[in-house]
């Protein structure tokens, strides 16, 4: 339990940030999962989903949810898979 007024405020702020981060992380993971599912099925849908997924990855980096190098790795691997499926 917080013993100071500032510590109580920090607990409230941490809870709000946790919920925002969880929402952002969920949106990112769902987008990546949808693209991977499309890769297993419809290649045209995967090509259409790729720019949206890359945008979600970039937003996650801006919000601090995902490290920059991890985002680059995800984008690279997904792009390679979509290009292979499109051929």
What is the Rg, in whole angstroms, of the alpha carbon atoms belonging to the chain? 18
CATH number, domain of 10, equals 1.20.58.110
Number of domains in the chain: 1
Query: Is the pLDDT score of 54 beyond 90?
Result: yes
What does pLDDT average to over the chain? 94
Q: Report the alpha-carbon distance of residue 40 to residue 49 in Å, rounded.
A: 13
Q: Which structural domain range is residue 45 located in?
A: 5-86
15-34: pLDDT as tens digits: 999 999 999 999 999 999 99
pLDDT band (50, 70, 90) for residue 41? confident
Query: Is the pLDDT score of 86 beyond 90?
Result: no
pLDDT band (50, 70, 90) for residue 87? low
For the whole model, what pTM was predicted?
Answer: 0.84
């Amino acid at each position: 339990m917080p013993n100071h007024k500032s510590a109580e405020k920090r607990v409230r702020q941490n809870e709000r940030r946790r919920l925002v981060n969880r929402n952002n992380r969920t949106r990112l993971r769902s987008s990546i999962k949808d693209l991977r599912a499309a890769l297993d099925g419809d290649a045209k849908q995967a090509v259409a989903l790729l720019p949206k997924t890359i945008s979600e990855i970039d937003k996650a980096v801006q919000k601090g949810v995902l490290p920059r190098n991890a985002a680059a790795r995800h984008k690279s691997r997904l792009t390679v898979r979509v290009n292979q499926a499109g051929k």
